[in-house]
């Protein structure tokens, strides 16, 4: 489930509690002697009672926990005793789920998910007797010596979000006491708005919500609550209860020095607006997100001389004790695999993994601990988000989410991608060492995100396709790509007999380069002082092994070198080799999935068959990206490299030939199969399992390939290429002609198209109709977009992008993927893309009219139907 940041700016209602009544002397009857009254002595214990302060009365009988705030509990009431020394200090509110109902669990909303963060500070309003919570938004940067610095200080204000009555002040006025029930029992949502942030959009029910505990640690306090809401859909109402923890973390008084982002290295970023007197405009400073990694004071001189030292504070991950025992050592290795990268940056033992044991004196409610949380869930995923200091980009803590069913997806990858070269991969239950190696890879990838690294989809392109068939090369590189942060999987290129032993991804050259960029300590005082050193470092790493590119849209990738799930530097050859391996697997599916168990169904066979088709679909899109593709470089002035280069004509022609042969011609090897006689393709849906006929999957795949191939974004890029490069460009007319000759070839020859060929012709027609008329375009676009895609090529494996949206807007934190814009409503109307599509419709119509008399009944109906569709779209009556 994708979660979105919805920061609530409502002012919390004041907690109206009755004040303490003043003690009053008893009025004696008029007949009493006044002098007697004045001389009357009070009992010592009575005088002591009346002299007690509000503070003493409040803490008396309370259960008190010491820490950053003292927490006082009196029955069901909770109070924070806040030192005045912390007023004005920056605090980070961190909200996480602890327990959820099954319905949320299956949607991927699980224990450990961090659903809301915000920075706040506290102010004492003595006039009103209230403690105010202000949401802190980092101020823009400006040199203190510049005149504009004063404007930055005076011009901005952050919103007040909560107000608390001050219940008491301690004896020396160094601490204030407030009652906090309302912000933790669901009454108020100013710092904990769980049901909005998990997209339920409802409110907590007061009498069904409660505070379970509040703990205080040295630099944070955490409240654990059980909150209940009511969700209504139609006539059905259900109650949803979640257990949440809400921490208030004291941020460092002096923020960590930031480090500038560079487009040649993929880090998540923390942007801040920047002003200076010297500017003739404004700009943004982008700091990368990273842990505070520094040598100990006594080791700094040795470090700067090039010695490898231990950091002052290593990064420690704790492995949840709910993690199955057999996988713990592999997860530990995956985490500590990053040690070699940190050694390149000058630090040894910089990252450590520890298993949580019952005897360990570690409280996982303390937000300082970074934990790999293992969730019992059907969700097939893992992710590695981190908790940031929004002022500097410092990573304060990280949580790796591991959903149990990710193992099923990894198992499918291993079987489909390596089953022809690794006999152990053919088993329904993989051996622990084989699965363990894959778990190590997944853990290592997610930790990379927790260290601040973004995906690097250029990592797989760094290794030549044919080199991945070399035992020598793969053993030397010990990976399938230059970066474990790519979505590069297992070696599907290696063929039987190649002798390749290294089949899985591991830490690569790019990863070590990226960690050194982010974590090498230079001992400087400002980010500006590091700029030259960082530039010199980057200038020494220009080889393809160190190239970086962010993720792209799977269905409209622009740069074919930077894609999901691919391997090698030649998409056509890599995909052909992958298909050769799939052709070896398909006849073995029934054999590989048979366990000999009595009463066994064909569900495992269906699972493997579906996985093969999904892998085949990945290969199609790897190749498709070449058509209308552009190589995009992260260039800087003076490096002599062009930023944009269109993919060579020959490669685009080869890509079209591949698609015509592998998907737009009926792939009998994949769809006329023995396994298809015993099981259709099972797919889980909200209403249960659905059995999809293999040919239905093929028609669906063909529809999407044609739709994406003829999308106006792609065609506009091809037209731009023709404008720039003339005859050296692969043109839209050439593309259309190639498709026509293949799809309507049987009709051109006077033949009779079969059922699948007729379906393909209609798919092609539907993709063209978007050009005919705006209403038809909208209708067809909606139909295609809303249709349930039956293949999983677009399903992301790792959800870091969704997870990293919490503290800041997505485009600020993540850096939006580069978008090359050639498309717009006006450009669409005047472009050749529309003309060529309409021209092709007329060409098809003329062909069909000429063939009506030479076709059988089914074909004639088919042709007449298409003629009617074309006429309707073109407005012909």
pLDDT at 777: 43
Q: Cα torsion for 276, 278, 281, 286, to the nearest 10°?
A: -50
Closest CA to 318 of 208, 483, 181, 450: 450
Let me know if residue 215 belongs to a domain: yes
Q: Which two tokens stand for residue 127?
A: 């006039």
pLDDT at 828: 74
Task: Report whether 343 contacts 520 (CB < 8 A).
Answer: no
Give helix 694-709 / helix 603-624 axis angle, nearest 10°.
20
**Average per-residue pLDDT for the chain:** 88
pLDDT at 457: 95
> How many whole angstroms separate alpha carbon 568 and alpha carbon 576?
12
Average pLDDT over residues 217-243: 94
Average pLDDT over residues 123-136: 95
| Total domains, the chain | 1
pLDDT at 277: 85
pLDDT at 39: 47
Locate all alpha helices (DSSP H) within 273-396, ordered by sequence. 300-304, 325-336, 339-344
Average pLDDT over residues 56-71: 94
- Secondary structure string (H, E, C) spanning 591-645: HHCCCCCCCCCCHHHHHHHHHHHHHHHHHHHHHHCCCCCEEECCCCCCCCCCCEE
855 vs 238, higher pLDDT = 238
Instruction: Please state the φ and ψ torsions of residue 233, each to the nearest 5 degrees.
Output: -135, 115
Does residue 6 register a pLDDT over 90? no
Buried b or exposed e, range 230-267, using 16+ CB within 10 angstroms: eeeeeeeeeebebbbbbbbbbbeeebbbbbebbebbbb
Structure confidence by residue, pLDDT tens digits, 494-504: 999 999 999 99
Domain enclosing residue 211, as ranges: 50-250
Let me know if residue 219 belongs to a domain: yes
What separation in angstroms does the CA of 524 have from each of 521, 536, 581?
Answer: 8, 16, 53
- 3-state SS, residue 347: strand
Give helix 406-418 / helix 571-585 axis angle, nearest 10°.
100
> How many whole angstroms separate alpha carbon 730 and alpha carbon 230?
58
Task: Report whether 420 contacts 393 (CB < 8 A).
Answer: no
pLDDT at 595: 84
pLDDT at 572: 98
Judge residue 357's burial from the number of C-beta atoms within 10 Å of its C-beta, 0-12 exposed, 13-18 middle, 19 or more buried: exposed
Q: Cα torsion for 563, 566, 568, 574, to the nearest 10°?
A: -120
Kindly state the DSSP code that residue 281 receives in the 8-state scheme.
S
326 vs 110, higher pLDDT = 326
Q: What is the pTM of this model?
A: 0.89
Closest CA to 138 of 368, 387, 367, 389: 389
- 3-state SS, residue 723: helix
> How many whole angstroms separate alpha carbon 645 and alpha carbon 652?
13
Radius of gyration of the chain (CA): 33
Residues present in the chain in total: 877
pLDDT at 792: 58
> How many whole angstroms separate alpha carbon 6 and alpha carbon 809?
10
**CB atoms < 10 A from the CB of 532, how many?**
9
pLDDT at 7: 31
**CB atoms < 10 A from the CB of 371, how many?**
18
Structure confidence by residue, pLDDT tens digits, 506-537: 999 999 999 999 999 999 999 999 999 999 99
> How many whole angstroms separate alpha carbon 489 and alpha carbon 170?
61
Question: Minimum mean pLDDT among 155-164, 675-684, 765-774: which range?
Answer: 765-774
Task: Report whether 307 contacts 300 (CB < 8 A).
Answer: no
List, in order, residues 6 or more apart from 696 with CB less than 8 Å away: 790
Let me know if residue 242 belongs to a domain: yes
Does residue 552 register a pLDDT over 70? yes
Instruction: Report CA torsion sign: 312, 317, 318, 324.
Output: negative
Query: What is the residue-wise DSSP string for 428-497?
Result: SS--HHHHHHHHHHHHHHHHHHHTTBPP-TTTGGGS-TGGGG-HHHHHHHTSSSS-TTS---S--S--TT
> How many whole angstroms separate alpha carbon 383 and alpha carbon 405?
13
Query: Residue 41 — very low, low, confident or very high, per pLDDT cuts 50/70/90?
Result: low
pLDDT at 797: 52
pLDDT at 377: 84
Closest CA to 870 of 855, 825, 847: 847
Question: Minimum mean pLDDT among 156-170, 205-219, 236-250, 805-819: which range?
Answer: 805-819
Place of tokens 């090039």: 306
> How many whole angstroms separate alpha carbon 306 and alpha carbon 824?
54
Let me know if residue 183 belongs to a domain: yes
Query: What is the residue-wise DSSP string for 312-328?
Result: SS-EEEEE-TTS-HHHH
* Order of strands, sheet of 236-250, starting from the edge strand that comes earlier in the sequence: 63-65, 70-74, 77-83, 175-179, 160-169, 130-135, 114-125, 91-99, 236-250, 220-233, 210-216
Place of tokens 């062909």: 847
Does residue 33 register a pLDDT over 80? no
Per cent of the chain over pLDDT 70 is 88
pLDDT at 789: 53
pLDDT at 793: 46
First CA to last CA across the chain, in angstroms?
A: 48
- Secondary structure string (H, E, C) spanning 664-686: CCCCHHHHCCCHHHCCCEEEEEC
Average pLDDT over residues 756-784: 70
pLDDT at 270: 87
Does residue 490 register a pLDDT over 60? yes
Average pLDDT over residues 344-372: 92
What separation in angstroms does the CA of 75 have from each of 60, 164, 181, 211, 491?
Answer: 12, 20, 12, 11, 61
Let me know if residue 666 belongs to a domain: no
> How many whole angstroms separate alpha carbon 464 and alpha carbon 837?
37
Let me know if residue 127 belongs to a domain: yes
> How many whole angstroms separate alpha carbon 69 and alpha carbon 175?
9
Let me know if residue 630 belongs to a domain: no
Task: Report whether 398 contacts 597 (CB < 8 A).
Answer: no
pLDDT at 795: 44
Task: Report whether 3 contacts 806 (CB < 8 A).
Answer: yes
Does residue 739 register a pLDDT over 90? yes
Q: Could you tell me which residues are beta bridge partners of residue 242?
A: 227
């Amino acid at each position: 489930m994708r979660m979105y940041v919805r920061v609530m700016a409502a002012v919390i209602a004041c907690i109206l509690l009755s004040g303490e009544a003043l003690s009053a002397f008893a009025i004696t009857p008029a007949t009493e002697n006044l002098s007697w009254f004045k001389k009357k002595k009070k009992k010592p214990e009575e005088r002591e009672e009346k002299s007690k302060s509000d503070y003493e009365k409040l803490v008396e009988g309370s259960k008190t926990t010491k820490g950053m705030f003292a927490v006082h509990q009196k029955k069901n009431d909770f109070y924070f005793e806040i030192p005045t020394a912390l007023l004005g200090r920056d605090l980070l509110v961190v909200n996480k789920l602890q327990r959820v109902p099954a319905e949320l669990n299956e949607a991927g909303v699980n224990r450990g998910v961090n659903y809301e963060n915000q920075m706040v500070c506290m102010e004492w309003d003595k006039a009103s007797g209230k403690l105010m919570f202000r949401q802190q938004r980092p101020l823009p940067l400006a040199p203190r010596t510049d005149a504009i610095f004063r404007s930055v200080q005076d011009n901005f204000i952050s919103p007040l979000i909560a107000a608390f009555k001050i219940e008491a002040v301690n004896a020396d006025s160094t601490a204030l006491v407030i009652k906090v029930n309302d912000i933790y029992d669901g009454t108020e949502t100013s710092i904990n708005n769980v049901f909005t942030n998990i997209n339920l959009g409802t409110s907590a029910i007061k009498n069904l919500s409660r505070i379970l505990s509040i703990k205080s640690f040295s630099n944070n306090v955490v409240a654990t609550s059980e909150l209940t809401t009511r969700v209504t859909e139609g006539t059905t109402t259900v109650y949803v209860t979640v257990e949440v923890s809400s921490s208030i973390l004291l941020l460092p008084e002096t923020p960590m020095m930031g480090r500038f982002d560079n487009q040649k290295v993929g880090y998540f970023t923390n942007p801040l607006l920047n002003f200076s007197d010297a500017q003739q405009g404004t700009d943004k400073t982008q700091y990368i997100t990273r842990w505070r990694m520094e040598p100990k004071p006594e080791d700094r001189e040795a470090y700067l001389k090039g010695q490898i030292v231990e950091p002052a504070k290593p990064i420690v991950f704790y492995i949840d004790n709910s993690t199955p025992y057999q996988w713990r050592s592999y997860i530990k290795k995956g985490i500590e695999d990053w040690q070699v990268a940190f050694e390149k940056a000058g630090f040894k033992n910089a990252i450590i993994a520890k298993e949580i044991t019952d005897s360990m004196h570690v409280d996982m409610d303390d937000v300082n601990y970074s934990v790999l949380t293992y969730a019992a869930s059907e969700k097939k995923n893992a992710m590695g988000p981190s908790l940031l200091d929004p002022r500097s980009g410092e990573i304060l803590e990280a949580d790796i989410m591991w959903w149990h069913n990710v193992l099923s997806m990894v198992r499918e990858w291993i079987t489909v991608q390596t089953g022809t070269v690794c006999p152990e991969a053919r088993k329904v239950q993989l051996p622990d060492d084989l699965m363990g190696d894959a778990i190590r890879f997944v853990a290592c990838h997610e930790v990379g995100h927790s260290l601040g690294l973004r995906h690097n989809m250029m990592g797989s392109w760094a290794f030549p396709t044919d080199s991945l068939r070399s035992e020598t090369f793969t053993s030397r590189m010990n990976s399938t790509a230059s970066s474990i942060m790519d979505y590069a999987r297992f070696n599907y290129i290696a063929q039987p007999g190649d002798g390749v032993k290294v089949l899985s991804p591991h830490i690569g050259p790019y990863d070590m380069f990226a960690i050194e960029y982010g974590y090498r300590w230079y001992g400087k005082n400002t980010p500006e002082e590091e700029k030259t050193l960082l530039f010199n470092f980057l200038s020494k790493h220009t080889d393809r092994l160190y190239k970086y590119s962010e993720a792209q849209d799977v269905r409209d990738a622009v740069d074919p070198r930077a894609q999901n799930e691919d391997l090698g530097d030649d998409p056509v050859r890599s995909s052909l080799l992958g298909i050769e391996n799939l052709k070896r697997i398909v006849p073995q599916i029934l054999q590989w999935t048979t366990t000999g168990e009595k009463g066994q169904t064909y569900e495992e066979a269906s699972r493997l068959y579906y996985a093969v088709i999904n892998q085949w679909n990945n290969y199609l899109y790897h190749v498709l990206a070449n058509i209308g593709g552009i190589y995009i470089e992260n260039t800087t002035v003076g490096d002599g490299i062009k930023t944009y280069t269109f993919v060579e004509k020959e490669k685009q022609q080869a890509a079209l030939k591949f698609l015509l042969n592998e998907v737009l011609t009926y792939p009998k090897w994949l769809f006329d199969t023995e396994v298809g006689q015993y099981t259709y393709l099972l797919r889980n849906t909200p209403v249960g399992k659905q059995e999809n006929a293999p040919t239905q999957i093929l028609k669906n795949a063909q529809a999407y390939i044609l739709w994406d191939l003829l999308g106006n974004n792609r065609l506009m890029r091809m037209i731009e290429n023709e404008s720039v490069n003339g005859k050296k460009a692969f043109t839209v007319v050439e593309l259309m002609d190639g498709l026509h000759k293949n799809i309507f070839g049987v009709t051109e020859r006077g033949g009779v198209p079969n059922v699948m060929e007729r379906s393909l012709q209609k798919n092609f027609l539907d993709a063209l109709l978007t050009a005919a008329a705006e209403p038809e375009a909208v209708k067809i676009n909606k139909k295609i977009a809303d249709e349930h895609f039956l293949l999983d090529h677009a399903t992301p494996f790792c959800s870091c992008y969704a997870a990293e949206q919490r503290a800041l807007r997505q485009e600020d934190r993540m850096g939006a993927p580069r978008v090359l814009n050639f498309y717009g409503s006006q450009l669409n109307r005047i472009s050749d893309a529309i003309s060529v599509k309409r021209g092709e419709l007329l060409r098809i119509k003329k062909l069909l009219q000429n063939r009506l008399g030479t076709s059988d009944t089914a074909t004639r109906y088919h042709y007449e139907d298409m003629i009617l569709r074309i006429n309707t779209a073109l407005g012909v009556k």
